[in-house]
Structure 1
Amino acid sequence: MANDSPSNPRSTLKGRGAVSNLAGRFVDQVSSRESDGWEMALEPVERIETVAIEEKAKSIIATNSSPDIPFTQSINAYRGCEHGCVYCYARPAHAYMDLSPGLDFETQLFYKLNAAELLEKALRKKGYRCSPIAMGTNTDPYQPLEKDKRITRQILETLQHYRHPVTIVTKSQLILRDLPVLAEMAQDNLVHVGISVTTLDNGLKRKLEPRTAGPAARLRTIEALAAAGIPTAVMAAPIIPALNDAELEKILHSAHGAGAIHAAYILLRLPFEVAPLFRQWLQEHYPERAEHVMSIVQQSRGGKDNQSEFGQRQRGTGVFAQLLQQRFRVTCRKLGLNERKLDLDCTRFTLPPQSGDQQSLF
């Protein structure tokens, strides 16, 4: 029986990545529209509007001790992301708010309006120890909502005021709005940026990451950042078997030509609800290739859709993963990528005086 509700749509929605509103793992009851037999078919859902919801955060700096990632502190100004990347490993977080990791993740967005205020309080706490703060580790800090809310910009200005180092990963050209701030911070070795380039194929990009900048725009963004003296990396992520893995060398060459001095990659990760969402997406867009893609994914993930163990979740295991790692290393060596360490300066961190501070007598 026909059912094209957001929980089980008949076809993709324009500008959206997920093809359903798959229920999160904490939901006890699920509802969907069904035909009652008195009509020929249900009217299709043409579009779902984006809703922005203010979130009163109680803290803003998240910490971690994972050996797989090169930072211990991070900030996420937004929950959910309008970019709609179907593979996004942040999607399951929406389940904790009784929302779907599918279309809800792309359309029910939360913004932390008090982020800069919370950050300043955190930096002034007694005993705070400075280490680089990473942005863009969960959802994109420069997703479309940032153009209006400017929360990432406020965070950057606060970090600059305190001379605190920061790293940023984004897919968006919007980062160029903040180029003056970033260039000033780069002069003091307080920032480096990673631009994610998943594919150079516009057709694949539109299906995989519907509301992101195109490949050419991302390369121009790398070029502009590098020209401004900002150390810039290319993130070839995720690498998806039988979809974009053949592009790895071309992505690295193109980014290097645009000015990238560092590179990284991540093999596709499919935690929790992301796996069924990705399988739905494959059946919708690449049905003839879906079985082959998932076969290689499972060969690289110990026979499962996902591998969560430290040391393996980013790179995978097996023949495909090993060959991918070798291809990456050889290409980086040929291009001279990753030769320079991107260590930021934590010694410049300072607490600027504020109203009520006792002034020194000397």
Structure 2
Amino acid sequence: MKNLTRDIDGHWETIEPQIQQFWHKVPKELRRREYEHDGCSVSVDINWQPLATRLRRDNELVRPLRENRPPVKDWQKKLLQPTRIRAEVTVSGANKVCSHDWYPTFFLDTFVHEIFLIANLSVPGSADFYSASIARPNQRHSTEVRLSAFAFDCGWTDSLDGEWPSLQALPREDVCRWFEALNIGYKQRAETGIERALYVLLHLARDDTRIDSVTWLFHGLEALVSTKVGESVSGLVRRLAAVLDLDELSQKRLNKRLRQLYDWRSSFVHGGYAVPHPASSEVIDRRLDAHLMELHNLRQFGASLLIATLQALIKKRIVELRFDEQLVTTTIGARMDDRSKT
């Protein structure tokens, strides 16, 4: 792993201690996982202690800068030093693919993805694996993890600034218990709305800087609350409000922001989107400034909304979500009876 320091310095006094606390004495649920696959038993063990030690050290290296004091010598060079974390994968039994080199790496990578979600839903921004890679001893090629925690970190920082949706730190044990109840394992295709929303977060963590991330966000939100693709925004607002326990004013605010986000999605999917050059240099063309800023703000709002909704489910211990529509009618006889009473 490289570049373990946060990209955002905001509220470091609140956030950094909770990140360090999360990785302090990591519980068994985050150190060991066992999988059963097609006749093989696969166990994965990860020693996270070097990460906990490195996070404490790096925090002390950047603390002087945050407190407007002179930093220690070569502090930047020390921050860029990679950290190696030892993992052991044991495969028992046999199947048609277990002899391939990628087989144990796959299960380690799967566990790392799960830990990324657990950590960042518990303490947003606590697990940034964007620069992480997996390599076997003496192996020339490595598997890049590429999971950025920026959206989680930015969302929690915005929340501490008073922005909505509000993200927060959740007890590590509660999040681990919730994930265990989901029983996702190594599943490669999502089957439930919650699984689809979690997989969307993983896709966004790989690359959340493009316009198609807006489409991913709507897919995750619609899947989470079981609205149909292309259904009105009002239905999405109504169901999200039920999960988040929103009052009328908050629902109006949510409706406004979601419609703005939906306009971006429609322009991209149906045409009308002014496609920027892939180089995306706002320094060369200042017209790109407003475009990128609006896209970032709306995309971050959508990501925070998705994360906040998942955190609400965790707090309520909900692992399955279903909405039932009701038909309310008034008969002719009932209406006539009401008139006779007046």
Give the TM-score, by structure 2 length.
Answer: 0.28
- Structure with greater strand share of residues: 1
- Greater helix share, 1 or 2? 2
Question: TM-score of the superposition, structure 1-length normalised?
Answer: 0.26
* Higher CA-based Rg: 2
